[in-house]
């Protein structure tokens, strides 16, 4: 059994709309947030009252992607397209307009490619360096909500609002097969290469763990929250713990192997979020800090203290 205490260490505010995505920065105490107000902001856990505006778009931003090696920041501006930002100098390198009236939910990179999942089942493949559009694929009749690259099997997993995971071949991007993962929308697919498993979450409020080695085998599922799950993340420094967040305004911390619940972080006990918690981020620091953000326009930092395993 794993035991620990949770302590709220700081709160960040400045966004004017719901916060949809968090991203780490160079394995440091800094991180990024993206919001419905179009702003992408850099934060420092040592100075929570001093957010630094990176860029301010005209439309909401649901997804951002930071690449450490290049110091590149990609932002997906809804109803416009993708921007490539020189984060250090806060300047835009390039931008590409894709389709009007399209919202962009997730981005991942692999090799020279940038993958973008969008509304209406659209999936885009761009050149990572110049943002030229290489492929535009119609995968589903509903939104592509999450992207997971699994290089070990040369596959790309796309979770959609129809409850399916579409398994694509990374070589030619053909759909190899489809997996019915949830009763309704799949909001995230997370690959854990250490355990050779996948975690999936959905609108059906379920957290599922799958054995994955070119095939899907459901190992365990739990009704994890009262309402739709919005994010799931494994602690990079202590992978025996994972966290989920939900529209029910709570964060829950689990033992990742058994999906045993250990803590519920809510408003009444921890002065947590007032509304849906949309995004989570473990910082790779010695303090086991978990960052959360949501519809209340707030970002919060949580420290896990006295972490230990007991027989």
Q: What is the pLDDT of residues 1-40, one digit of tens each?
A: 999 999 999 999 999 999 999 999 877 789 999 999 999 9
Q: Half-sphere exposure of 24 toward its Cβ, with a 13 Å CA cutoff? A: 18
Mean pLDDT of 148-159: 95
- CA dist list (Å): 12 to 43, 81, 95: 8, 28, 29
pLDDT confidence of 229, banded at 50, 70, 90?
very high
Domain extent at residue 196? 2-309
Give the number of other Cβ atoms within 10 Å of residue 65's Cβ: 21
When divided into structural domains, the chain yields a total of 1
DSSP sequence for 198-217: EEEEETTSEEEEEEESSSEE
Can you tell me the mean pLDDT for 233-249? 95
Strand partners, 245: 231, 251
Answer whether residue 177 shows pLDDT above 90.
yes
- The whole-number average pLDDT for the span 51-56 is 94
Tell me the mean pLDDT in the region 177-190. Answer: 96
pLDDT tens figures, 261-287: 999 999 999 999 999 999 999 998 767
154 Ramachandran zone, left/alpha/beta (phi>0; psi -120 to 50): left
Instruction: Compute the average pLDDT of residues 54-77.
Output: 95
pLDDT tier at 217, thresholds 50, 70, 90? very high
- What digits encode the pLDDT tens for the residues 99-127? 999 999 999 999 999 999 999 999 999 99
> What is the model's pLDDT at position 265?
98
CATH code (residue 28): 2.130.10.10
Question: Containing H/E element for 269?
Answer: helix 267-270
pTM of the model: 0.96
Q: What pLDDT is stored for residue 69 in this prediction? A: 85
Please give the order of strands across the beta sheet that includes 186-192: 186-192, 197-202, 206-212, 216-223
Q: How confident is the model at residue 87 (pLDDT cuts 50, 70, 90)?
A: confident
In percent, the amount of the chain with pLDDT more than 90 equals 86
Q: Torsion angle of alpha carbons 291, 19, 21, 25, nearest 10°?
A: -60
Q: Which carries the bigger pLDDT value, residue 208 or residue 88? A: 208
- pLDDT value at residue 195: 83
């Amino acid at each position: 059994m794993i035991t620990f205490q949770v302590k709220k260490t700081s709160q960040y505010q400045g966004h004017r709309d719901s916060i949809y995505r968090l991203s780490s920065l160079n394995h440091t105490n800094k991180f990024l947030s993206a919001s419905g107000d179009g702003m992408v902001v850099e934060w420092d856990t040592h100075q929570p009252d001093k957010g630094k505006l990176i860029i301010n778009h005209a439309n909401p931003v649901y997804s951002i992607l930071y690449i450490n090696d290049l110091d590149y920041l990609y932002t997906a501006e809804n109803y416009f397209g993708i921007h490539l930002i020189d984060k250090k100098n806060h300047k835009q390198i390039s931008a590409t307009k894709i389709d009007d009236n399209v919202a962009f939910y997730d981005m991942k990179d692999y090799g020279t490619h940038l993958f973008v999942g969008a509304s209406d089942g659209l999936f885009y493949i761009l050149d990572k360096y110049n943002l030229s559009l290489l492929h535009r694929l119609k995968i589903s009749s509903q939104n592509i909500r999450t992207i997971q690259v699994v290089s070990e099997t040369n596959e790309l997993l796309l979770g959609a609002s129809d409850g399916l995971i579409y398994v694509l071949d990374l070589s030619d991007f053909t759909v190899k097969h489809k997996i019915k993962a949830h009763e309704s929308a799949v909001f995230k697919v997370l690959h854990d290469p250490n355990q050779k498993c996948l975690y999936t979450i959905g609108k059906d409020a379920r957290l599922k763990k799958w054995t994955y080695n070119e095939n899907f085998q459901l190992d365990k599922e739990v009704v994890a929250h009262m309402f739709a799950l919005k994010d799931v993340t494994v602690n990079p420094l202590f992978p025996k713990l994972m966290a989920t967040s939900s529209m029910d305004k709570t964060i829950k911390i689990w033992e990742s192997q058994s999906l045993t619940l250990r803590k519920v972080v809510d408003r009444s006990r921890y002065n947590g979020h007032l509304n849906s918690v949309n995004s989570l981020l473990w910082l790779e620091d010695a303090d086991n800090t978990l960052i959360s953000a949501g519809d209340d326009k707030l970002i919060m930092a949580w420290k896990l203290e006295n972490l230990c395993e007991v027989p």
